[in-house]
Amino acid sequence: MGTTAITFTPSATATPAKLSRSTAAHGCSNRLNSPILFRNPNFKTKRSSSKSLVLSTPLHAKSSSVIGAANEAVDASSPGSIGANDLLIVGPGVLGKLVAEKWREDHPGCQIFGQTMTTDHHNELAKIGINPLLKGSKATQEFPYVVFCAPTSRSLDYPGDVREAASSWSGEGSFIFTSSSAPFDCDDNGPCDEDFPVVPIGRRPRTDVLLKAEKVVLESDGCVLRLAGLYISFYEINMSNIFMSTHDAASLLVAIMKKKLRGCIFLGCDNHPLSRQEVMDLVNKSGKFSQKFEGFTGTNDPLGKKLNNEKTRKEIGWEPKYPSFAQFLGVSE
């Protein structure tokens, strides 16, 4: 049975870099002892010198489509309506809502906007203090903080949606795209960290979409956070993926936003790799289900990868609330 790391989940023409508008921002290559830790491999941002081109594989991240203001939503295009700590979340689903909650804890007076594909959940967003915006509006206002955490599944042009989100960023604060650990070219149960090479473009349609989206983000001087499968509670674990608490994913994302970094690639995981069999052994041991897990229906999936994000933790100064899946379940390993 393959071994997989436990981690968070969270999914063309480049948008012009806007970093020069903010003197508070820092580039990863200027702040890390080893620049290749987080920089995009095969290209540099428009503010980078040729000497800063370091990695060897193209990185790409996924973003959700930018959403325009609905009739009942707050008018984000009104001059002077956006404050220094205001946040736009493209794809305010489970992870996005947790990010909004944690961001507001640190910035009580800020406005938070959530861009969606439909108006289905606008009332729900408004009730928790997120100003709903509908994709397709022509809002002219830019936001100092933009988070893209929409999935690829509902987008016809994912990189284009990410580019649209980048155009809503003022260049101040942070622009972060939540990607997946899927682009890492490792399926043999081997170790994998922030520097690991990515799958070549053209080999897999899924990773092509993510890598192209990540490229848009990095060329816009935004940052990419690669996450594995997320879980919210014990009963919402996707057993087909590596996983980690969505709350921890949100806390890491907010911690990265506060750093105001540029052109970086980060990784979110708990550094305690488990095979799927080990995961189910812990589930049985927890006693949270009356029925016991007996076995898997197939063993043809790739072995996966053992993720390690020590470099991200050191750079951001972050640790997960749940250091391992066993601790999340409240059982000994």
Q: Give the tens place of pLDDT for each residue, 193-250.
A: 999 999 999 999 999 999 999 999 999 999 999 997 665 544 444 433 345 678 899 9
pLDDT score of 72 more than 80: no
Domain spans of the chain, in order of start? 82-329
CA distance 320 to 323: 6
pLDDT score of 302 more than 90: no
Contact 179, 230 (CB under 8 A): no
What is the pLDDT at residue 284? 80
CA distance 215 to 12: 9
CA distance 224 to 315: 14
CATH: 3.40.50.720, 3.30.70.20, 1.20.58.220, 3.90.1280.10. Which one for 82-329?
A: 3.40.50.720
What is the pLDDT at residue 198? 96
What is the CB-side half-sphere exposure of residue 127 using CA atoms within 13 A?
4
What is the pLDDT at residue 138? 59
- Residue matched to tokens 């290749």: 36
Banded pLDDT at 139 (limits 50, 70, 90): low
pLDDT score of 328 more than 60: yes
pLDDT score of 143 more than 90: yes
Tell me: the pLDDT tens digits for 154-196?
899 999 999 999 999 999 999 999 999 999 998 877 888 999 9
What is the pLDDT at residue 31? 37
